[in-house]
Amino acid sequence: MNKPPNQRPLPPAWEQLSSWVAVVEAGSVSAAATRLAISQAGVSQHIRQLELGFDTQLLDRSTRPARATAAGQRLYEHANELLGHADRMAESVRALSRAKRALVRMGCVDSFAATIGPHLVRGLVGRLHRVRMCSGLSPDLFAQFQNHQLDLLMTTTATAAEPGLTQLPLFTEQYLVALPADHDLAGAGSLLELSRQLPFMNYSTRSLIGKQIDNYLRGCHPDIDCAFEFDATDPLLGLVREGLGFALTTPLCLWQSRHHSTAVRLVPLSTFRRQGKPYATMSRRFELVHRHGQLGSLPREVADLVRVAARELQRDITNALGLDRTMLAIDD
């Protein structure tokens, strides 16, 4: 069947050109096959395909060993140049990818940045040229991630429905109650009764942690009013330490403000009873979110480093604050 007059012939495949260069340089089909780690039949087939495609003889088979014809020698020169360009193209693309990874932008909440962050940055030294760690409120960070201002996001925000995103589990921490160190719990069998003894203080409901605590308490006791709201753990625990209220918080937040944490009383939610039963556990789960197919193996490397840091943190918190190890559970 004749080709349409305007249809250009397809260029030879890279593996065919590689085989031809190897034959000319190695001096024989068998030597080329050894060099390329493929069969002699494979190399011979590539040569036949080239000869059919160019409609000319490339090897003078009347000599032993066969030598390249004039057309074959010209093809060798062009093929060598093309393969060199291909190698430089691949290296250029890889170099650009490495340059982009020279700066990796990570987002995380303040408690994560202050506790896990230093361990993570130390673990990445030597793997990346620069690391930029941004901290703040979860909704703001997720908006930055969606706008491609962040490459990796350590978050407790559910993103399962977001297309093109991959989540890697990191660890889970349980909420507990922070009380003034000398507060007597007699007569405070429930959180509602406790709120009648001490004002309840919470994180700002602009934050995810504040919303989660607010929703939890509204589900249990809609009558508990929040006396104060804070964006950070330091002022929250500072007031608890001074006997001015109680709060719900997490191990990471406590470790971030451990200069206050060691001077307050920490008890699990199960210490209190509602309708004769312990309060249900409340927890937040951290996950690493990244865009599918980007950054290669880096997200998993970062996730592994975070889990190692979380195990060290688990040990430190258990020893210093007397918390049960189960309050911070690492995902394997």
The reply to whether 249 and 202 lie within a common domain is yes
What are the b/e assignments for 36-48, b being 16+ CB within 10 Å? bebeeeebbebbe
Do both 202 and 263 map to the same domain? yes
Q: What angle do CA 128, 131, 133 make, to 5 degrees?
A: 155
In tens, the pLDDT along 115-130 reads: 999 999 888 887 776 8
* In-domain check, residue 188: yes
* Residue 160 shares a structural domain with residue 82: no
313 part of a folded domain: yes
Task: With respect to residue 300, please indicate whether it lies within any of the assigned structural domains.
Answer: yes
Of the pLDDT bands very low, low, confident and very high (cuts 50, 70, 90), residue 250 is very high
User: Would the pTM of this model clear 0.75, i.e. be above it?
Assistant: no
Say if CB 232 and CB 110 are below 8 A apart. yes
* Residue 78: CATH number of its domain: 1.10.10.10
For residues 331 and 304, give the distance between their C-alpha atoms in angstroms, rounded to a whole number: 10
Do both 58 and 140 map to the same domain?
Answer: no
Burial class (CB in 10 A: 0-12, 13-18, 19+), 20: buried
Distance CA 151, CA 138 (A): 15
Cβ–Cβ < 8 Å for 267, 255: no
User: Is 6 within the bounds of a domain?
Assistant: no
Amino acid symbol at 125: V
- Encoding tokens for residue 66? 């066969």
Looking at the structure, tell me whether residues 226 and 276 fall in a common domain: yes
Residues 155, 288 within the same domain:
yes
Q: How do residues 264-278 score in pLDDT, each as one tens digit?
A: 999 999 999 998 899
Asked if residue 295 is part of any domain, the answer here is yes
Domain stops at, among 55, 81, 99: 99
Answer yes or no: is 268 within a domain.
yes
Residue 48 is part of which domain span? 14-99
Q: Do 234 and 292 share a domain, yes or no?
A: no
Query: How many domains does the chain contain in total?
Result: 3
Residues 93 and 128 reside in one and the same domain: no
Q: Residue 289, SS3?
A: strand
Kindly report the average pLDDT of the chain as a whole number. 87
